[in-house]
């Protein structure tokens, strides 16, 4: 009986101690983030509607370009990439971009690859990262695949 009473008192003291503000939660609520991210395709032409144009190279299995995620962060940050449109090979969806890269001096790069079946398609590429305030930063761009030559 005494043991149960001591256990009950211990639990009550423990629970009462939890009513004090948690400094980690308070710090998280006061965390401010001024990070920015802008995704670009520096080797592609940007049209007046905000779409990048990628020319298919005839005779190749894939055509490639480099994409940049420009941030105002220091150090190294993991940037996650994905494409809204991809291609189905059998039962599997294949993304047009490598899924991850790291920033170096605020810039992360990945490779986008397209297949001939994508000529005429508009691909949407997303990039994002989570800062130390646990705020997600996401940007995207759209690329039209053309075969005009």
Query: d(Cα 71, Cα 75) in Å, to the nearest integer?
Result: 11
Query: d(Cα 130, Cα 29) in Å, to the nearest integer?
Result: 16
Residue 52 to residues 34, 132, 145, Cα–Cα distance (Å): 27, 32, 9
Mean pLDDT (10-residue bins), the chain, 149 residues: 40 36 48 85 96 94 95 86 76 85 92 92 92 87 89
Q: Closest Cα partner for 80 from 135, 144, 125?
A: 125
Tell me which H or E stretch contains 26: helix 23-30
φ, ψ at 120 (rounded to 5°): 95, -10
DSSP state letter for 116: G
What is the pLDDT at residue 97?
93
What is the pLDDT at residue 86?
64
What is the pLDDT at residue 89?
66
CATH homologous superfamily for 35-146? Immunoglobulins (2.60.40.10)
Query: d(Cα 2, Cα 8) in Å, to the nearest integer?
Result: 10
Contact at 8 Å (CB) between 116 and 132? no
Tell me, yes or no, if the pTM score tops 0.85.
Answer: no
Tell me which H or E stretch contains 111: strand 107-115
Identify the residue whose tokens are 């294949």: 94
């Amino acid at each position: 009986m005494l043991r149960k009473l001591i256990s009950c008192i211990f639990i009550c003291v423990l629970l009462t101690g939890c009513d004090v503000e948690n400094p980690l939660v308070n710090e998280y609520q006061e965390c401010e983030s001024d990070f920015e991210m802008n995704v670009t395709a520096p080797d592609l032409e940007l049209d007046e509607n905000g779409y990048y144009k990628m020319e298919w190279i005839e005779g190749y299995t894939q055509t490639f370009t480099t994409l940049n995620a420009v941030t105002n962060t220091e150090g190294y940050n993991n940037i996650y990439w994905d494409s809204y449109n991809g291609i189905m090979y059998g039962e599997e969806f294949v993304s047009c971009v490598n899924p991850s890269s790291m920033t170096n001096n605020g810039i992360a790069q990945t490779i986008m690859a397209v297949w001939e079946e994508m000529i005429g398609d508009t691909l949407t590429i997303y990039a994002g990262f989570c800062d130390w305030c646990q705020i997600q930063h996401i940007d995207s761009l759209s690329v039209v695949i053309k075969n005009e030559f």
